[in-house]
Amino acid sequence: MSLFVKDPQARIDHEIDWSAYLAAQTLIASSWAVEPEEVGGLVVEESAFEEQRSSARLAGGVVGRLYRLTNHVMLSDGQVDERSVTIRVEER
């Protein structure tokens, strides 16, 4: 799992490139989840996906907290997969 640092005031896009994990498949659905869910915490404002990439616009977060951002995807052959990263929020 990768670690990224985010300022609580920043609105940033995070992307996962799935191409290395996909043989002949493509993404047909994508959703994002943040743990823990809390007031003032990290939120996914927007999300999108293409055939081999998915992205989420992140906002907020409590300084000093760690969040797990998970991307759940469905592939064109019916398989389901997910990848997670850790986001640490700190003033920058």
pLDDT band at 2 (very low <50, low <70, confident <90, very high): confident
- Does position 1 have pLDDT exceeding 80, yes or no? no
pLDDT recorded at residue 60 = 97
- Ranges of beta strands (E only) in the chain are 2-6, 12-17, 27-35, 43-49, 53-59, 66-75, 80-89
Whether the model clears a pTM of 0.85, i.e. scores above it, the answer is yes
Three-state SS at 31: strand
Per-residue pLDDT reduced to its tens digit, 29-82 = 999 999 999 999 999 999 999 999 999 999 999 999 999 999 999 999 999 999
